[in-house]
Structure 1
Amino acid sequence: MPISYFWSRAFLTSRWLLWLLLICNVLGTIYGYYWYALQLEYTLLHWPAWMVVFVPDSPTASLFFSIAIAFLIFPPRSRWLKGIRALFEALAVVTSVKYGVWAVTMIFWGAALGDTLIWQDWMLTASHLTMAIEALIYVRFFIFRHTTLVLALGWTLLNDYMDYSQGIYPWLTEQLVLRLNQVRNFTVALTLASALAGAWALWQAREERKWNS
């Protein structure tokens, strides 16, 4: 079996692999929301309840990707469901790439400033890198277009605004809090870069389809 098979549509969209991805991402999403439990409780006590939507960044990205994979398993037929599918796919790509890279950067930035890495940091590094990689791998099978990509960018920028204007950003180590302006600037720049990565991957997928047609 040639190694190229593992990059093929037949392999990557096989139902057993899609179901495995869905189960792993759903479990990761559940764990991610559990990870944010204390911050969610703190936010509900000190801010309006509606702001809690903007608190759990990575698990929400994982939720978006889970929904996108579910749509690959069960493709919708109606036009409005296809529109919903496209929106969730765009959200999945932008947020998974953004928060996958963001979390890993924060972990090693903190370590460079003197924080001690523990086993959970390595687990989070592996899981968040996987988030970013799987989104870029599966973008070629998604149906979203640039319009929905812009909507996903808008949502993610709104999340950044809420995080850093209202102080509901993911809890950081003391060393990173002292550099909060730098963290904010990096976060916004990463949002824009993630949208550009999504647009590039979308263009690459179109070119591949043209080449194979």
Structure 2
Amino acid sequence: MAPTGVGARIDAVVARYFDGPVPEPEGLPRYVTPLPQWLENLGLRLAWPVVVVNILGTAFGFWFYAGRPLEAQPPLVEGQLGAAPLAAYPLIPDSPAATLFIALSLAAWRLEWDAEWLHTLAFFGCIKLGFWTPYVQLFLNGPEGLAAWLYWFLVLSHLAMVVEAFLIHRYADFSVRAVAVATAWYGLNDVVDYFWPVLEGPHHTVLRAEYVDGAIDHAVAAHDLAAACAVVLTVGAVFLALATRVEKLRARRDDASDG
């Protein structure tokens, strides 16, 4: 049954201007597809604008991790990136990497490129960082030390990443190999962020809650809570990706038997 209501009407209006085809929904259970169909359709129709927004978000994220430099003179890279060796850079800016993954994933889908590994990395990244950052900001860091606009931008923009994650099932299958790649990457990320301080780590996003007397103290409870949340979200992303694959295969099997 076609969706109805205000959301469906919004989707219909957008479809007049962004009329590229979108994959048909497969009737998957709500626990793996929590968004209403009209919102999935809307996000997919607006894939190219969403790509642009995420590329801008990636640039903003690197600017944030570089200490928000405002002057075009050395040092251009300060902050957490500036304090880390160059070899550690791929391990540090987790949220910018996630927004880059979803931008590339949507672009690859629109260009009809086969990139299951990229789609799955995007799913993991948007689920993990989309929930982890609001949790850390709301329950560990609090608003102190950041401008109000930046604090709420971080919270709300990351929650929007969760919405993006649940668009991906419409065009990706979450193959076992792709899930293995994403699990390896985000599992490694958890290890070096919290448990194995290689390359002058740990490399998790600096928590304001870890500052004690002006210095970072990884022994405080906030560090352990952030680590626990990260690991739980990685496990949750694995479950959701594989559950989505199972439900897709089941739906296709049922369609084949009905046909």
TM tier, shorter chain? 0.7 to 0.9
- Matches for 1:14-163 after TM superposition, within 5 Å: 17-38=46-67, 41-42=78-79, 46-76=83-113, 82=114, 85-110=115-140, 115=144, 118-163=148-193
Runs of 5+ unmatched residues, structure 1? 77-81
Q: 1:184 corresponds to which letter in structure 2? A: A
Match of 1:9 among 23, 41, 53: 23
Listed one character per residue, the Cα deviations across residues 35-57 of structure 1 (whole Å, up to 9, x for unaligned) are 11129645565543211111100
CA contact (8 A) 2:80 2:206 kept: no
Q: 1:187 corresponds to which letter in structure 2? A: A
The alpha-carbon deviation at position 97 of structure 1 amounts to 0.3
Please say if 1:187 is aligned against 2:222.
no
Runs of 5+ unmatched residues, structure 2? 13-21, 25-37, 69-76, 212-217
CA distance in 2, matches of 1:140, 1:208: 13
CA contact (8 A) 1:99 1:128 kept: yes
CA contact (8 A) 2:120 2:182 kept: yes
In proportion to residue count, which structure has more helix? 1
The alpha-carbon deviation at position 87 of structure 1 amounts to 0.9
- Aligned-residue CA RMSD in angstroms? 3.0
Q: 2:202 corresponds to which letter in structure 1? A: G
Provide the TM-score with structure 1 as the length reference. Answer: 0.81
CA distance in 1, matches of 2:48, 2:82: 38
CA contact (8 A) 1:136 1:198 kept: no
Q: Matched residue pairs, number? A: 205
The alpha-carbon deviation at position 23 of structure 1 amounts to 1.3
CA contact (8 A) 1:140 1:205 kept: no
Q: Which has the larger radius of gyration?
A: 2
Provide the TM-score with structure 2 as the length reference. Answer: 0.68
The alpha-carbon deviation at position 139 of structure 1 amounts to 1.9
Identity %: 24
The alpha-carbon deviation at position 212 of structure 1 amounts to 5.5
